[in-house]
Amino acid sequence: MSVRILWIDDEIDMLKSHIIFLEKKGFITTPHNNPDQILERIGQNNFDVILLDENMPGQSGLDTLQIIKDRYPYLPVIMVTKSEEEQIMEEAIGAHISDYLIKPVNPNQIVLSIKKVLDSNKIISDKSVSSYQQTFGELSYQMMQTNSFPQWMELFNRLVKIEVSFDSTTDQGMIEILNTQKEEANTLFSKYIEKNYLQDLAQGEIAFSHTVFKRFVIPKLKKNNPTIFLMIDNLRLDQWQSMQDLFAEYYHIENTELFSSILPTATQYSRNAIFAGLTPLDIQKKYPQYWLNDDQDGPKNQFEEELLTEQLKRNSLENLSTAYYKISNIYQEEKLLQEFHHFKNNDLTTIVYNFIDILSHSKTDNQLIKEMIRDDKTFRSLTRNWFENSPLLKIIALASSAKINLIITTDHGTTMVKTPSKIIGDRETSTNIRYKMGKNLKYESKKILVADVPEAFYLPKSNLSSKYVFAKEDIFLAYPKNYNHFVNYYKDTYQHGGISLEEMVIPIINLLPKS
């Protein structure tokens, strides 16, 4: 389909060679030598883009731009000018021009600018698809050769970058191929975890939940820079990659590291381990007053601040000025924003945000959320939209202005479950559908990883015969009673607690304030 251009310039007669060049490239170009009656001209034609000279006698280009944007706010305008004055550029950008070209203009510059304005998403999408097609075989080979956790993190990071770059594509065929490759990756990853998790956990070379704070946060605290430690519950790697550009106005990303959530990939285990700097088993032994097992009543993460305080003491950081906030609703968000001046000079401010976790679980029982979150792409989009409009972004802007370092991480990810697997347990068996802790469990062994000896997994147990089972890939655990209802209720919902790349491979990001 031909692109229709309206070119407004009082010296348009001197640009005939440019217009001929554009016509040969397939652009239908209408010349106009003054800004008078411009709205009428636009209204009579379906122009795709306007080229507008900034310096014209009478009504200026900036005035004309404002008139056009008032009536046609979504019509792209490319400003062409001799002026390089910063003020004029800023005014044009503030009036939402799509691009800015400096005279003398090369015709190829105009073509590139128009393509950038009109076809950037398609160009990026086509490039992403083309790049993936070229690397598909290499990724498949890398997947088959991967035999260490760092290699799995590298591979998953590559797959996620491709997936996020596909958000602008409409090529459903390539999206399905990528999804199939990710499913294959999760199958192989689950086999790797089954064989190597205990060894990786015991050796201590890989950063897990209980070592990540000491490895990545404490060295920053020892440099005596005010720091916010932002724990966004349930933040997946793909969600971070899709919204990291929103931080660019305020922070430089110093580095992004990947680490592994411990099993179960559930908040009471992984997040308590992060704040304590200890495995769940060691928390139970060392601080029994701060630990509740699955079968015990009460909130399981109510002592995070106390566990963090103990970890700081063990690392000779007990003299730091600290604050801890847990945010689960808009009222707490607004209060945190209002209290910024109270904690901005602290050595360490810890903020736990539960929004994404609440959002993911809402897909289970909220029909509106079910319709809004249909897949990982829409989940990313909704997460980004929340963050872009939340008080949290305002807090981050204030933190940058106050020269506060920022460290962002999460406790675990989440995955969409699709395949049910039957399990039988007693009344005291835990309720999570990605893992179970209990006694006398009966299950389909091929679809789960069994922890017959919880102590080997550094996990506590309620009684001598307790064991853990972890669902792999996209499996969810369902009781035979009311089986069909249960399956229909939970199928295609986001859950965590089990074994998948999305749940286990998670980011921690160090950011430095731009201001």
Tens place of pLDDT for every residue, the chain, 515 residues?
A: 588 999 988 888 888 999 999 999 989 999 988 777 788 888 888 899 999 888 777 777 788 888 888 888 888 899 888 766 666 667 766 667 888 888 888 889 888 888 888 776 676 667 777 788 888 888 899 999 999 999 999 999 999 999 998 888 878 888 898 899 999 999 999 999 999 999 999 999 999 999 999 999 999 998 889 999 999 999 999 999 999 999 988 999 999 999 999 999 999 999 999 999 999 999 999 999 999 998 888 899 999 999 999 999 999 999 999 999 999 998 999 999 999 999 999 999 999 999 998 888 887 778 888 888 999 999 999 999 999 999 999 999 999 999 999 999 999 999 999 999 999 988 888 899 999 999 989 998 788 999 999 999 999 998 888 999 999 999 999 999 899 999 999 999 999 999 999 999 999 999 999 96
Distance, CA of 316 to CA of 380 (rounded, Å): 39
Are 347 and 322 within 8 A, CB to CB?
yes
Cβ neighbours around 13 below 10 Å, total? 10
DSSP one-letter string for 291-320: ---TTS-S-TTTTHHHHHHHHHHHTT-TTS
Amino acid at 416: M
Tokens of 458: 């550094």
Amino acid at 206: I
Residue with tokens 């922070």: 251
Amino acid 125: pLDDT: 67
Buried b (16+ CB within 10 A) or exposed e, 302-316: ebbbebbbbbbeebe
Amino acid 113: pLDDT: 87
Amino acid 86: pLDDT: 66
Tokens of 127: 């490039």
Residue 90: strand, helix, or coil? helix
Amino acid 475: pLDDT: 97
Distance, CA of 137 to CA of 124 (rounded, Å): 21
Cβ neighbours around 83 below 10 Å, total? 15
Tokens of 102: 């400096």
Strand ranges of the sheet holding 475-478, from the earlier edge strand across to the other edge: 442-443, 419-424, 475-478
| Short-list 468, 365, 453, CA closest to 423 | 468
Are 501 and 156 within 8 A, CB to CB?
yes
Are 40 and 17 within 8 A, CB to CB?
no
Distance, CA of 2 to CA of 391 (rounded, Å): 44
Structural Rg of the chain based on CA atoms:
28
Which residues are CB-neighbours of 459 under 8 A, at least 6 positions away? 263, 269, 279, 280, 281, 437, 451, 468
Domains and CATH numbers, the chain: 3-105 (3.40.50.2300), 121-199 (no CATH), 207-413+503-513 (3.40.720), 416-500 (no CATH)
Residue 72: strand, helix, or coil? coil
Distance, CA of 513 to CA of 386 (rounded, Å): 22
